[in-house]
């Protein structure tokens, strides 16, 4: 095979990141293969999207493993873990931003389930941070989680429109998320 399944997924991800409604024909072209070959690897558009979704969730889970989430973190490392999560999420969103609004993520049962599990782990961390006084406790944890979601969408939009430089993103998100916009 001239083009591996993994290469297809990578190229498709890149293309969908700046053209989320692309057709199979567009995706095939961006990968550099024919429509037929693309269909040989992924029978339907749905199948392709689900495969991309799993890959995005792999990256998300990779973030969790890398920062040691789910290992009942001691109080000392809570803040450190939270910051690492934010940084890693930004990076993941830059690569898999399209998945943030891909509707296959809400259609496919398995994807939904897995995404909920990952989200639950983050909410657990947020709750722990609230109990430890690191994060304010007068917000529902789910709102804090959704806030991060919104900021990642703001990142995607900022990059797409060229509003801010890529290298500034981590600082902007971290500061905005943690301290807000007030001086």
Residue 75 lies near its own copies (rule: CB under 8 A): no
CA 141 to chain centre: 18
| Distance separating alpha carbons of residues 26 and 163, to the nearest angstrom | 26
Q: How many residues does the chain have?
A: 183
**What is the smallest separation between the CB atom of 19 and its own copies, expressed in angstroms?**
11
CB 160 within 8 A of CB 18: yes
- The residue among 54 and 149 lying less far from its own copies, judged by its C-beta, is 149
Distances (CA, A) of 119 to 61, 89, 144, 168, 171: 10, 12, 11, 26, 23
Q: Is 163 exposed, middle or buried (0-12, 13-18, 19+ CB in 10 A)?
A: exposed
Residue 40 lies near DNA (rule: CB under 7 A): yes
CB 44 within 8 A of CB 24: no
Binding mask 112-141 for its own copies (x = CB under 8 A): ------------------x--xxxxxxxx-
CB 20 within 8 A of CB 45: no
Residue 19 lies near its own copies (rule: CB under 8 A): no
Q: Which of 20, 30, 39, 77 binds DNA (CB under 7 A)?
A: 39
Residue 32 lies near DNA (rule: CB under 7 A): yes
- The residue among 75 and 140 lying less far from its own copies, judged by its C-beta, is 140
* Contact residues for DNA, defined by CB under 7 A: 1-3, 23-25, 32-37, 39-40, 43-46
Contact residues for its own copies, defined by CB under 8 A:
21, 101, 103, 130, 133-140, 142-144, 146-147, 149-155, 157-158, 163-164, 168, 172, 175-183
């Amino acid at each position: 095979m001239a083009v591996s399944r993994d290469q297809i997924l990578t190229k498709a991800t890149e293309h969908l990141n700046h053209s989320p409604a692309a057709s199979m024909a567009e995706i095939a072209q961006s990968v550099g293969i024919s429509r037929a070959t693309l269909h040989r690897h992924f029978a339907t558009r749905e199948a392709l999207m689900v495969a991309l979704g799993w890959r995005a969730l792999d990256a998300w889970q990779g973030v969790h493993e890398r920062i040691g989430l789910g290992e009942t973190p001691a109080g000392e490392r809570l803040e450190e873990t939270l910051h690492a999560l934010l940084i890693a999420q930004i990076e993941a969103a830059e690569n898999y931003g399209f998945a943030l609004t891909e509707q296959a993520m809400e259609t496919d049962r398995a994807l939904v389930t897995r995404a909920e599990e990952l989200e639950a782990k983050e909410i657990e961390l947020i709750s722990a941070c609230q109990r430890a006084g690191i994060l304010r406790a007068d917000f529902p944890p789910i709102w804090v989680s959704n806030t991060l979601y919104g900021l990642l969408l703001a990142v995607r939009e900022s990059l797409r429109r060229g509003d801010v430089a890529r290298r500034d993103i981590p600082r902007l998100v971290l500061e905005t998320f943690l301290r807000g916009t007030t001086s």
